[in-house]
Amino acid sequence: MNKSAKLILILLIATAGIGCAVYYVKVKRPDEEMRAAVSSHFKDPESAKFRIIKKTRQIICGEVNAKNSYGAYEGYKRFVYIPSSKTVSYEPDNTISTDSDTGQKLKESIGNLFEITWDICT
């Protein structure tokens, strides 16, 4: 084999290897981004434990459990992560004040929106 043929062969092999590495990173990245985004909302992000319910290219649905400020796990909480916008939605809890009509309507709206999104997963 002459030098130019060897050089072309080496370049082809190197290019193929880079292409595989880039593809692997693209496939792996949304899951890592999801874990970082979801766990960042907890007092102890390192303690987050995940159960994935469904994962597609458009949406990742699951449950997460993390330690609170007392060091105890709070219990699994449902979440929806949208990779394209890097947003996380959680199942609403009782932290929204419902003392006023506005608070009650806000809680209902958030709950309805989450349930519609969650239904896409199941």
Boundaries of domain holding 50: 3-121
What is the per-residue pLDDT for 50? 94
How many domains would you assign to the chain? Answer: 1
Quick check: 107 pLDDT over 60? yes
Q: What does DSSP assign to residue 45?
A: G
**CA 72/CA 25 separation, integer angstroms:** 34
Residue with structure tokens 């002459």?
Answer: 2
Sheet containing 49-55, strands listed edge to edge, beginning at the edge strand earlier in sequence: 49-55, 60-65, 77-82, 87-90
Sole residue written with tokens 């309507």: 105
- In three-state secondary structure terms, 81 is strand
Gap between the Cα atoms of 114 and 90, Å rounded: 7
Per-residue pLDDT tens digits for 52-64: 888 887 889 999 9
| pLDDT tens-place string over residues 71-90 | 999 899 999 998 888 888 88
Range scoring the smallest mean pLDDT among 41-45, 63-67, 84-88, 91-95: 91-95
Instruction: Convert the pLDDT of each residue in 10-43 to its tens digit.
Output: 545 555 555 544 444 444 577 888 999 999 989 9
pTM for the full predicted model: 0.62
- β-sheet bridge partners, residue 90: 79
Going by C-alpha positions, the residue among 46, 48, 41 that lies closest to residue 65 is 48
pLDDT at 73: 95
